[in-house]
């Protein structure tokens, strides 16, 4: 790596990304691995985790499978027992599952499920991995936790852009992500004195390829909501991720980087 950009190097570091095989997760995995990190690829699926590990290794990058369900205390504990004594320099809480629908169409259980995979899982992982994060600090002076929030943690969806109430971005999603932003600030205050930095990234409109292919008219409408006039590409999450993961952000703690093309500006 050329002098001047060495502060972005992750050589010799280890990163765990939950929900790593998804639309944005895989891009984050690639940039961290390209910067030199060994990336632990979390998924509930052995097949999907192994597939991404294989793709990364084909490029000569370092990656390992990390198969467990972030909502299961037992599965998290079993996995962490396999990396005892190993420093963890970067933890990215990215996992999420959930549906769509307005308040009128949403059942009570959807809120609990969304909060569990977003908020409770982030708490569970940070608390369980503190020995690994602290070991990373002892070895290199820094550890970074990155929580994936959303623009909908900051503003409400415009339901007018959706074809039906059943397809709108749901209330439980934004509510859980907003909680994650507050928890990010809380954790930053609690662990910052230990040089364990906790920050968030709030992506804007990054619809999957499946959505783009199935609903081109919706993508056009979505793009008009963005001051830049387009949706985001997965590669555009790479820069903010590397910044927060690396020593280049060594005095950034409790921040939320909004990557939304300006969506939340108007």
pTM of the model as a whole: 0.97
Q: Which of 174, 39, 191 is nearest to 118 (CA)?
A: 174
* Residue 26: C-alpha distances to residues 56, 74, 127, 128 (Å): 9, 25, 24, 24
Name residues of the chain where pLDDT drops below 70: 1-2
Q: What is the pLDDT of residue 3?
A: 74
Q: What is the pLDDT of residue 10?
A: 98
Q: What is the pLDDT of residue 4?
A: 81
Q: What is the pLDDT of residue 2?
A: 65
Q: What CATH number does the domain located at 10-261 have?
A: 3.40.50.720
Q: What is the pLDDT of residue 138?
A: 98
């Amino acid at each position: 790596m050329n002098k001047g950009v060495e502060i972005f190097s992750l050589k010799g570091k280890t990163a765990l990304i939950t929900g790593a095989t998804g639309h944005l997760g895989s891009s984050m995995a690639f940039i961290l691995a390209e910067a030199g990190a060994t990336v632990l690829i979390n998924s509930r699926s052995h097949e999907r985790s192994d597939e991404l590990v294989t793709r990364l290794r084909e490029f000569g990058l370092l990656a390992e499978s990390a198969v467990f369900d972030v909502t299961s205390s037992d599965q998290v504990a079993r996995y962490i027992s396999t990396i005892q004594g190993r420093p963890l320099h970067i933890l990215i809480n990215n996992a999420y599952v959930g549906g769509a629908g307005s308040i009128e169409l949403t059942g009570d259980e959807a809120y609990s499920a969304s909060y569990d995979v977003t908020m409770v899982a982030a708490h569970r992982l940070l608390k369980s991995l503190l020995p690994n994060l602290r070991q990373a600090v002892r070895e290199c002076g820094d550890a970074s936790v990155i929580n994936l929030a959303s623009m909908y943690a900051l503003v409400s969806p415009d339901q007018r852009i959706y074809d039906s109430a059943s397809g709108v971005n749901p209330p439980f999603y934004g509510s859980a992500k907003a909680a994650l932003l507050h928890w990010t600030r809380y954790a930053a205050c609690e662990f910052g004195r230990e040089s364990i930095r906790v920050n968030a990234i709030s992506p804007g409109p990054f619809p999957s390829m499946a959505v783009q292919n199935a609903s081109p008219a919706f993508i056009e409408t979505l793009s008009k909501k963005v001051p830049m006039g387009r949706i985001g590409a997965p590669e555009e999450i790479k820069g903010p991720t590397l910044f927060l993961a690396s020593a280049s952000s060594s005095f950034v703690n409790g921040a939320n980087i909004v990557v939304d093309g300006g969506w939340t500006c108007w």
